[in-house]
Amino acid sequence: MITGGCLCGALRYRAEGEPKAQGLCHCRNCQRLTGGGHVGWLCFDATAVAVEGPTRAYATTGGSGRTATRFSCPTCHSIVYGTAEVMPGLINLYAGSLDDTAQFKPQIAIFTRSRPAWDDSSRGLTCFETVPSR
């Protein structure tokens, strides 16, 4: 089981089973979201994730050109998880929100076409300029 949540503890989640994928997203939205060069994510079937506590949703057009929605805590504003139209039925838990960050083992990096030159975090990962086809 994977658990995590926001900075203040008001928003928590629990994910059962193993992630379908784990990786880094270097799209410009994720860079702006985190203030860094990427966001780390673990992808689960939505049915495997239980969320407790209040959330605030923010929808944007993602790097794919389709809607991506990020969910944060309305109290501390930590970004905790997200969904994307291009990935129906799936939830991406953000690696920085994990209780045990050692559970994050990225295998891929997406949107590397917009990866900053100073962010070498995807070295050794399978890289995609945009999103891989399913």
CA distance 82 to 73: 12
- pTM of this prediction? 0.92
Level-2 CATH architecture, domain 2-121 = Alpha-Beta Complex (3.90)
Tens-level pLDDT at each residue, the chain (134 residues): 999 999 999 999 999 999 999 999 999 999 999 999 999 999 999 999 999 999 999 999 987 788 999 999 999 999 999 999 988 999 999 999 999 999 999 999 999 999 999 999 989 999 999 888 75
Angle at 117 between CA 58 and CA 69, to 5 degrees: 10
Domain ranges of the chain: 2-121
